[in-house]
Amino acid sequence: MPVSPNNIYNWHRENKGSNAEIDYVIQYQNTILPIEVKAGTKGQMQSMHLFLNEKKCKFGLRISMENFANYQTIKTIPIFSVGNLNKYLNI
């Protein structure tokens, strides 16, 4: 399924003393895919981990200046490779 403006969402959870958000949430094939876009290479990805646990998602995607990497349930893809996203997801 191609991604279009009609099927791109975001997620925001507001709890007392604990806000969390995911930049993009899309349906990719038969799964929900949370996507975080980061300007740098650092970050704890607390919101991503919270979303993955709450929504029982298999994995999330981080797009950043970092090189290709897999951190448990988070796949990292460098910004320059977004055009080849399908190739790297292997869902």
Q: Which residues pair with 77 in a beta bridge?
A: 63
* pLDDT, mean over the chain: 86
Confidence of residue 5 (pLDDT cuts 50, 70, 90): low
Which structural domains are found in the chain, ordered by start?
5-89 (3.40.1350)
Q: What is the three-state SS of the chain?
A: CCCCHHHEEEEEEEECCEEEEEEEEEEECCEEEEEEECCCCCCCCHHHHHHHHHHCCCCEEEEECCCCEEECCEEEEEHHHHHHHHHHHCC
Residues ≥6 apart with Cβ < 8 Å to 26: 3, 7, 8, 9, 32, 33, 35
Q: What is this structure's pTM?
A: 0.85
pLDDT of residue 85: 80
pLDDT at 33: 92
> What integer pLDDT is reported at residue 29 of this predicted model?
80
Across the range 28-54, mean pLDDT stands at 89
